[in-house]
Amino acid sequence: MNIYIYNNNRKTSKANKKTLEELASKHHYSTDIFEYDNKDELVFDLSSHPERADVIIFRISRCKDEQIAGLEAAKSLRKLGCHALFIYVSANKQLAADTFPTFPFYYFYIKHLTLAEFEDVYIKALSLARKRRDKLFQCGNDMDEHVFPLSDIYYFEIFQRITTVYHSNTSFSFYRSMAGLEKELTPKGFLRIHRSFLINMRHIDRVTDHTVKLTNGFELPIGTTYLNQVRKKLSQLKTYSI
């Protein structure tokens, strides 16, 4: 998971990073932590892919010009579609209300903050972030990368070693083996119906003897070698919550 820290005090930011790494390791979470002391750089780096951030910790304070350092970055990220969990830390208790429009996960008043209290909230944030990640599918190629909600994916198709994911009304191609996708996504409600197709059972509209019609109107063939497997699985079909 990707953790971002905004703190315009670089010295304390380094110490904070070490603490975050130790706490995550203690609770068996794998994290990558990125530090920023410039709010514009933080926003710029996440502007093209705001979904990269899982948790962002902002150290906020009121500046001489009455701007709240860090909060403007948080507002900008929300406008860009960033759904990361925002945790605020401040020496000013009165700034808590200013963070409400950004839907904070938690606000710490640093004067009374203990490591145990921070650890409890931080680990809860990591747990929730991991559950969110489990509901997403991430893929990329040499040019770009994408993160899709699993519930929005209709199916995957592989052709000449290139896999294409069909998501809502768009598609995106990348390199990944169908066998690997099948292993990863079968427990999450996907079904291999053909050597070339892996479908999201949530989007099945109608099944015939040799085809599956999806809710987007696409009709895909059921491969002969997969026919019995598909029939068995669909006979047990339940509602999948993705």
- Where helices occur in 27-114 by DSSP H, the ranges are 39-47, 71-79
pLDDT (average), residues 90-96: 89
Enumerate the β-bridge partners of residue 57. 5, 87
What are the residue ranges spanned by the domains of the chain? 2-134, 141-235
pLDDT-based confidence at residue 146 (cuts at 50, 70, 90):
confident
95 and 60 Cβ atoms separated by less than 8 Å: yes
Which letter, b or e, does each residue of 189-205 get, where b requires 16 or more Cβ atoms within 10 Å of its Cβ? bbbbbbebbbbbbbbbe
- Indicate whether 225 pLDDT > 70: yes
pLDDT-based confidence at residue 120 (cuts at 50, 70, 90):
very high
Does the pTM exceed 0.75? Answer: no
- Token pair in block for residue 189: 């409600």
- 39-47 vs 71-79: helix crossing angle, rounded to 10: 10
pLDDT (average), residues 88-110: 92
CA dist 205 and 237 (Å) reads: 13
Residue 233 pLDDT: 84
Question: pLDDT of 17-52, one tens digit each?
Answer: 899 999 999 999 999 999 998 989 999 999 988 888
- Indicate whether 241 pLDDT > 80: no
Non-local (6+) Cβ contacts of 57 within 8 A are 3, 4, 5, 6, 7, 16, 20, 87, 88, 89
- Indicate whether 137 pLDDT > 80: yes
Tell me yes or no: is domain 141-235 CATH 2.40.50.1020.
Answer: yes
Tell me yes or no: is domain 2-134 CATH 3.40.50.2300.
Answer: yes
